[in-house]
Amino acid sequence: MESIINNEDTIAAIASAISLGKGGIAVIRVSGKEAINSCKNIVETKSKYAWDSHRVFHGFIKDNLENKLIDEILISVMHSPNTFTGEDIVELHCHGGLIVVNKVMKTLLSNNVGVRIANPGEFSQRAFLNGKIDLTQAESINQLINAKNDRSAEIAFNGVKGKIKNKIDEIKNDLIEQLSEIEARVDFDEDFSEFNYNQFSNNIKNIKEKIEILLENTKRGVHFHNGISIALIGKTNVGKSSLLNLLSKNDKAIVTSIPGTTRDTIEVNLTIRDVPIKIIDTAGIRETTEYIENIGIKKSFEMIKKSDYIIYLYSLEKGFNKDDEEIINTIPKEKLITILGNKKDLIDSKKIKNNLPNITLMSIKNNEGEKELIEKIVKKCGSKEFENIDIFLNERQISKLTDCLKNLNDTDPIIANQLPFDLLSIELRDGIKNLSRITGQELTEELLNNIFSKFCIGK
Ligand SMILES: Nc1nc2c(ncn2[C@@H]2O[C@H](COP(=O)(O)OP(=O)(O)O)[C@@H](O)[C@H]2O)c(=O)[nH]1
Ligand SMILES: [Mg+2]
């Protein structure tokens, strides 16, 4: 594909995730014509493998201005074209931590003319422009990096491997086959037997079905990205924040015996038995004149409306009373996973009046009853819903696929009224064009910049 964006420059960026003072190793990635030369300038090495392609060798980074070594590193060199970007790539594996990495980066940039810091997504953009990956694979890389749960990462990786591209290409080939039939008739109609509108209509219907299934799966797949939301609702001090911490195996929320501790909503993304779930801890509901707490309580009621499901907690020690009943009445029945009676450890088990429907008894503090609760969550959220979903389209891809579906719907009246083939040809051509926009064979510079600017730097 002819490049529509200038990629003459050699670019560099920190490609590893940086965590202040924590990462043992950081990777600086350099890509472009001058990648190897520019690194040769600042690397001292005695390795016999130095600068061979697809080998790792040992060396030091040298600051030429101050004439001193600043880090000990491993270097990997990859010669074009068998690299991620398709260009020459050098990766400098230096020590982690902001100070060292930035120093190496600065040395690289200041010692060499022509190496500049990469823009967000620029490596992926080059990989795309050099035909290493298509647009859907590039977008899936970004999705993979930003995945919030295991399942979402798995599905994003399918996109990286080319599953979206293959599916779109398959639909496109179906359409091209139909178009060829039509185009041949536009030019040499006399040579063909009578056109079978019925057969053609059926073929288009089958293609439409493929698209509709893909769009339907994607709608369900949105949950993968965001997780099915479950709000923890109840009065103050019943154990909502403790439950969030128990489920996420993390002390994310502050737990104290002081009522009104949680004032804002706190969200945690997790995967429970393959189901991506977002647990939302809320402010306990009670009468209060405290200004900030009241804002939190208002948010709790909004969460009842906004979240997919709800677990309602109360304290067995305090008992289930009228206030609980009033709050529960605001929850749509189909949203309620369970009423959770907590603090079982504080009362005599014989005294538990188990007359509420759909109740789960727990001692969150002693980690009792978690298994039963998880069964109920999984049963309600249903892993079944997520079977057979192996790819996830983003908004841009959905919009183009919907445009293609519109083109195909527009063939209905043409077929019904047996109008001239040219009109069918126009719709099919547009449909194919819309599919090509998904994979990136049809694109503008603006679209390209827009897509890759959403990436992080170094990718
Ligand atoms: N005895 C007992 N105490 C609990 C249990 N769960 C939570 N607590 C305590 O109840 C208090 C309030 O808990 P918290 O999770 O902050 O409740 P929230 O206000 O609903 O978020 C804290 O002191 C917890 O340690 C439990 O199962 N048994
Ligand atoms: Mg709380």
Q: Convert 412-438 into a string of H (helix), E (strand) and C (coil).
A: HHHHHCCCCHHHHHHHHHHHHHHHHHH
Ligand 2 center from residue 294 Cα (angstroms):
14
Residue nearest to atom 28 of ligand 1 (CA): 343
Residue 72 domain-assigned?
yes
Ligand 1 center from residue 302 Cα (angstroms):
23
* 176 and 200 fall within a common domain: yes
Q: What is the reported pTM?
A: 0.75
**Which atom of ligand 1 lies closest to the CA of 342?**
27
CB 260 within 8 A of CB 283: yes
- Domain hosting residue 368, numbered range: 227-386
If one compares 300 and 59, the residue with the highest pLDDT of the two is 59
Residue 453 domain-assigned?
no
Q: Can you give the CATH number for the domain in which 359 is found?
A: 3.40.50.300
If one compares 100 and 258, the residue with the highest pLDDT of the two is 100
- The pLDDT, as a whole number, for residue 385 is 61
* 56 and 167 fall within a common domain: no
* 239 and 354 fall within a common domain: yes
Question: Domain end: 386, 405, 430, which one?
Answer: 386
Taking the CA of 256 as reference, the closest ligand is 1
**Which atom of ligand 1 lies closest to the CA of 235?**
20
* 233 and 382 fall within a common domain: yes
Taking the CA of 369 as reference, the closest ligand is 1
Token pair, residue 12, equals 């560099």
Residue nearest to atom 11 of ligand 1 (CA): 257
* 21 and 115 fall within a common domain: yes
Residue 261 pLDDT grade (very low, low, confident, very high; cuts 50, 70, 90): confident
Residue 315 domain-assigned?
yes
Residue 121 domain-assigned?
yes
Taking the CA of 251 as reference, the closest ligand is 1
CB 150 within 8 A of CB 275: no
CB 273 within 8 A of CB 383: yes
- The pLDDT, as a whole number, for residue 451 is 82
* 235 and 314 fall within a common domain: yes
* 67 and 154 fall within a common domain: no
Residue located via tokens 């050098």: 90
Mind listing the pLDDT tens digit for each residue in 133-192? Answer: 999 999 999 999 888 878 888 889 999 999 999 999 999 999 999 999 888 877 766 666
| Residues flanking ligand 1, CB < 6 Å | 234, 236-242, 255-257, 261-262, 284, 342-343, 345-346, 363-365
- Tell me: pLDDT of 76 over 80: yes
CB 120 within 8 A of CB 453: yes
Residue nearest to atom 8 of ligand 1 (CA): 239
Ligand 1 center from residue 328 Cα (angstroms):
20
Q: Can you give the CATH number for the domain in which 38 is found?
A: 3.30.1360.120
* 181 and 291 fall within a common domain: no
Mutational pocket test of ligand 1: of 245, 255, 258, 263, the residue with most ligand atoms within 8 Å of the beta carbon? 255
Question: Is the bond preceding residue 81 a cis peptide, omega within 30 degrees?
Answer: yes
Mind listing the pLDDT tens digit for each residue in 12-31? Answer: 998 887 655 567 899 999 99
Mind listing the pLDDT tens digit for each residue in 183-197? Answer: 887 776 666 677 788
Question: Domain end: 73, 108, 133, which one?
Answer: 133
Q: Can you give the CATH number for the domain in which 191 is found?
A: 1.20.120.430
Residue nearest to atom 2 of ligand 1 (CA): 343
Question: Domain end: 133, 153, 174, which one?
Answer: 133
Residue 3 domain-assigned?
no
The two most distant CA atoms of the chain are separated, in Å, by: 91
* 187 and 44 fall within a common domain: no
CB 344 within 8 A of CB 351: no
Residue 139 domain-assigned?
no
Ligand 1 center from residue 276 Cα (angstroms):
26
Ligand 2 center from residue 309 Cα (angstroms):
18
- The pLDDT, as a whole number, for residue 19 is 56
- The pLDDT, as a whole number, for residue 1 is 42
Taking the CA of 361 as reference, the closest ligand is 1
* 251 and 330 fall within a common domain: yes
Residue nearest to atom 19 of ligand 1 (CA): 237
Ligand 1 center from residue 335 Cα (angstroms):
24
Q: Give the lowest-confidence range in 23-27, 120-124, 286-290, 369-373.
A: 286-290
- Tell me: pLDDT of 383 over 80: no
Q: Give the lowest-confidence range in 111-115, 214-218, 275-279, 393-397.
A: 111-115
- Tell me: pLDDT of 399 over 90: yes
**Cα separation, 55 vs 76, whole angstroms:** 6
Residue 138 domain-assigned?
no
* 152 and 115 fall within a common domain: no
Taking the CA of 257 as reference, the closest ligand is 1
* 244 and 214 fall within a common domain: no
Domain count, the chain: 3
Residue 190 domain-assigned?
yes
